[in-house]
Structure 1
Amino acid sequence: MEEARDSWVEHLYSVLWAYRTTIQLSTGEIPFRLTYGCEAMIPVEVGEPSWRKLQAMQEQANDEAITAELDLVDEVQTTAHLRDLATKQLIMARYNRKVGLHSFKGNDLVLRRADIGNKNARDGKLAANWEGPFRIKEQLGKGAYTLESLDGKAIKRT
C-alpha cells in the first residue's frame, strides 16, 4: 500500500473481500459464511471445476444435504456468537485486572472531565477532554467529591 497511497479507493474492495473471507479470531468463523450461510467462491472457482465445486454439486444433488446445511447455519451463527461473547469477557477481565480503584483525599489536585458542565461546542472534537486542576474540598463517599478551584472558589455540580 505504500506505492498506492493515492489510489487506496481502488484497492478497498479487494481488502474488504479479503477481510470478509478470512476466519476471524473472535468468532472462529468467516464473516461471509455467517452472513450468507455458505462458503464464498472466487470467480476462478466458478468457471473451472475444482474439488470444492464438485463437492457442492454433489451436495446439491442430495436435497437432504441442503436441508442439513440450512439447519447448520443457525448453529454456526449461535456458536460464533458465543465465541464472540467469550472473547469479549476475556478482554474485559484482562482490562479490569490492570485497572485499579483510585481514591483521593482532601487537598489532592485532580482533573475533571470537560463534558461535565458547559463544554464549548464550537471547539468540536479537538477540544480538551479534561479541565482543571481542581482541589478536592470534601469526600462525599463512593467516588463523589466536592471540588474547588485553586483560588478557593467552589465548583458547582461536582
Structure 2
Amino acid sequence: MTPRTATQETPFVLTYGVEAVIPAEIEVPSGRVQHFVAQDNEEEMRLNLDLLEYRREETTTRMAKYKGQVARYYNARVRSLSFKPGDLVLRKNSVSRTTGTGKLDPNWEGPYVVREADRAGYCKLAHLNGGIVPRTWHNSNLRFFC
C-alpha cells in the first residue's frame, strides 16, 4: 500500500488501476471513507481504467529516470581501471576454481601478465613463463599486482 520510490505509485494501483482501501480504514473515519459517493465512484473507476495505460507509461518513465539517478550515484564513486599488455595482475581465485575456496584459502592467484586487452577492459592473460591461461577474457576479476 506504500508508494514505491522508483514509481511513486503503489503496486496495487499499477495492477488494478485504483487505490485499495484496507478494512481498518473503513472503520476509522478518514477523508477517503467520509467523502465516498457511490454514484460518482462508478464514473471515476471507468476514468481510472481509461487512464491506466497513461499512468503505467508515466511510471515507466519515472522508473527509468530513478534508475539513471541511482546509476549516476554509484558510478560517481567507481574508479575506472584499464589494463595494458605487459601489466602484472592477480586473478580472483573463485573464477578459475583451481584450488579450494575455503575460508583460509587465498582469494587471489597469480601474478599473470596481460597479453591482450581491449577497450571494454577484457584481458587475455599469460603465465610469467609465457604460457597462455585458458578462458581469461574477463574484466571484473582482475587487480593490479604491485
TM range (shorter): 0.5 to 0.7
| Aligned 1:25-104 pairs, distance under 5 A | 25-47=5-27, 50-56=30-36, 58=37, 60-62=38-40, 63-104=42-83
What TM-score, normalized to structure 2? 0.65
Quote how far apart the aligned CAs of 1:113 are: 6.4
- AA aligned to 2:73 is R
- AA aligned to 2:31 is W
- AA aligned to 2:134 is K
Query: Whose RCO is larger (CA < 8 A, sep 6+)?
Result: 2
Partners of 2:112 and 2:134 in 1: how far apart? 13
Secondary structure at 1:114's aligned position in 2? helix
The answer to whether the 8 Å contact 2:90/2:108 transfers is no
Secondary structure at 2:135's aligned position in 1? coil
- AA aligned to 2:111 is F
Percentage of identical aligned residues: 26
Post-superposition CA distance 1:52-79 (Å, at most 9, x none): 12433x1x30343221122232222222
Partners of 1:138 and 1:48 in 2: how far apart? 71
Match in the other structure for 2:134: 156
Partners of 1:141 and 1:51 in 2: how far apart? 62
Quote how far apart the aligned CAs of 1:83 are: 0.7
- AA aligned to 1:33 is V
- AA aligned to 2:20 is A
Secondary structure at 2:20's aligned position in 1? coil
What TM-score, normalized to structure 1? 0.61
Match in the other structure for 1:135: 112
The answer to whether the 8 Å contact 2:18/2:45 transfers is no
Match in the other structure for 2:88: 108
How has the CA–CA distance of structure 1 residues 141 and 113 changed in structure 2, closer, same or farther, with 3 Å as cutoff? farther
The answer to whether the 8 Å contact 1:112/1:134 transfers is no
The answer to whether the 8 Å contact 2:83/2:117 transfers is no
- AA aligned to 1:24 is R
Quote how far apart the aligned CAs of 1:41 are: 1.7
Partners of 2:48 and 2:32 in 1: how far apart? 15
The answer to whether the 8 Å contact 2:89/2:110 transfers is yes
